[in-house]
Structure 1
Amino acid sequence: MEVTNPTVEEIRLWAYSEDEWPHDEWDLFLSWTREVDLFIELATDHKCPKQSFFLHMLYYIVGVTYSEPNKTDKIARIRSYAEKGLGVNHGAIKAWQVNINALLNNRVKYKYDNWRGGVFAEYQFT
């Protein structure tokens, strides 16, 4: 597997393996793939050994996108990520969407630790 450019198949194989992160910046490399549908699928699969990691990835990809300097389409991209979770009946995905809406509607300020650090992957803003 080329660590810096993993395919969907390689990500899926890793997700169901017992292998550690292939690289220190594995989450950054995965964020470049923008495979939000795959991350949602794996974050909601209770049989996936790395389920919590993929929930982290959903927050991480929003954080990476939000913190991009001078990208005029970043808000639209973040909204499109959240839309991918519509109809997914899973509490963590619903909380992720609520948190995105709170961020984009200026009800909360962006904090690196919350989004890219994954601190509130288990929490929901109110």
Structure 2
Amino acid sequence: MSLQPAAFRGFANPVDPTPAELRAWAYHPDVTLLHTLPPDWDLLVSGDRLIGTLFDIASDRSCPARRFALHCLYIYAADGVRTNFRAHPRRRLRKFVENAEQNGDETLGFWAHNVRMLLARPELFDYHEWCEGGLVRNPRRIG
């Protein structure tokens, strides 16, 4: 199922995009290339306000920015676990994990498994893997 909006006209404020802007960009990322966005943009958008939109994007196999959204899901999960859920609610993360397990494909299944492993064993956190895209570039089950 595709959630593709019609067009993307740019971000009013790229440091704080709206869910609609992020979704539109995800289907037309060639309009505003990732390397032209603010430094650490992945970290900026990986918060509670946009995580539902990012999960939807990561769930759509046809979305050109799916890997970016999955990368943001890894950042969100790691940030929650590393801060003992001061950064993000544990319950919200668990709902996304359950949704990925029930409705996701293999890619989201890897993410859900890896999050469960990190929840059980926080020492599995590796910055390169979780926050710099290692688990997205080389998808696998950790543990």
For the superposition of Structure 1 and Structure 2, which TM-score range results when normalised by the shorter chain? 0.7 to 0.9
- How far, CA to CA, are the matches of 1:101 and 1:85 in structure 2? 12
TM-score (norm 1): 0.82
Residue number in structure 1 paired with 2:23: 12
TM-score (norm 2): 0.73
Q: Residue 54 and residue 34 in structure 1: after superposition, are their counterparts in 2 closer, same or farther (change >3 A)?
A: same
Q: Is the CA contact (8 Å cut-off) linking 1:42 and 1:48 kept in structure 2?
A: yes
Q: Which runs of 5+ in 1 are unaligned?
A: none
Q: Percent identity?
A: 25
Q: Which runs of 5+ in 2 are unaligned?
A: 1-11
Moved more, 36-45 or 54-63: 36-45
Q: Is the CA contact (8 Å cut-off) linking 1:85 and 1:93 kept in structure 2?
A: yes
Q: Residue 71 and residue 103 in structure 1: after superposition, are their counterparts in 2 closer, same or farther (change >3 A)?
A: same
Q: Which amino acid aligns with 2:17?
A: P
Count matched residues.
Answer: 126
Q: Residue 36 and residue 24 in structure 1: after superposition, are their counterparts in 2 closer, same or farther (change >3 A)?
A: same
Structure richer in helix, relative to its length: 2
1:98 aligns with 2:113: yes
- How far, CA to CA, are the matches of 1:109 and 1:65 in structure 2? 14
Q: Is the CA contact (8 Å cut-off) linking 1:5 and 1:33 kept in structure 2?
A: no
Which structure has the higher relative contact order (CA within 8 Å, separation 6+)?
Answer: 1
- How far, CA to CA, are the matches of 2:60 and 2:88 in structure 1? 30
Matches within 5 A, 1:1-126: 1-17=12-28, 18=30, 19-21=32-34, 22-68=37-83, 71=86, 75-106=90-121, 109-121=124-136, 122-126=139-143
Note the aligned Cα RMSD (angstroms): 2.5
Moved more, 109-118 or 93-102: 109-118
Shift of 1:107: 7.7
Shift of 1:15: 0.5
